[in-house]
Structure 1
């Protein structure tokens, strides 16, 4: 599979987040606080110049994690017809490499229950108890030491 991964804008990320993570909800539901901060970055995976996968990285500390330098992964999404091709792993690995070069110690996310297996394969660990995000479902905080 011939793909490229590059930095994209928040608006480009919304175009993939929306149908995957917030289908049937208003587009505004997939716009996150901090999307446009200069410490936030968004990555996109392209196949034949089509944006098919996205993930966003926010400078944000989680209270359960003591490390000083942390980033939160948010809005990871792969268009349905491109799922199970390894794109999620490729784009997340790319982001982790970029964070390591910035001496970030921890990456964490609020993982949907159905995504736990994916994150475990990527060496993420659950911390704390499950929690519900209204209208979205059960989530777990997962983290990885970089």
Structure 2
């Protein structure tokens, strides 16, 4: 059975490390803001095994003027579960959560190899690629949230 639920920051390390920080110390999985009350972490479980994680930060990027911005960070699916739609389910869950918070913009720094995944979910690249030290080439990406009935 498949379920997405809230998890702790430390629980995200079980997936962050092998996917996003392979060969690096576990401490490298701790992100600034992970333990803030405004940050939430979601885990995707299959038969009670954690196979995917993502974190949502109430974090403003000065590139954008939208007042209620949220950042997605630490999106990771264990390798043997990738390319099976689980990443999309986690992103959709984040979008629903952010809409419930009245967020009007989602942004993140996407690894070069993940850009096409996010583009399929209607995220747009902003500006030129940049390098994050020891991690690699990234693109700033965003999606605006519309509320047609307000």
1:22-70 alpha-carbon deviations (Å, 9 max, x no partner): 0000111110011010000000000010000000011111111110100
Q: Which residue of 2 aligns with 1:75?
A: 74
Report whether the alignment pairs 1:145 with 2:131: no
TM-score (norm 1): 0.97
Please state if 1:135 is matched with 2:124: no
TM-score normalised by structure 2 residue count: 0.95
CA distance in 2, matches of 1:32, 1:132: 17
Distance (Å, rounded) in 2 between the aligned partners of 1:58 and 1:128? 22
After TM superposition, the structure 1 = structure 2 runs for residues 1-146 of structure 1, keeping only pairs within 5 Å, are 2-146=1-145
Alignment check: 8 A CA contact 1:41 1:57 kept: yes
Unaligned runs of 5+ in 1: none
Misfit runs of 4+, over 4 Å: none
| 5+ long unaligned stretches in structure 2 | 146-150
Aligned residues: 145
User: Tell me, what secondary structure is at the counterpart of 2:84?
Assistant: coil
Contact 1:64/1:127 (<8 A) preserved: no
Alpha carbon RMSD of aligned pairs, Å? Answer: 0.7
- In the aligned structure 2, how far is the partner of 1:143 from the partner of 1:118? 13
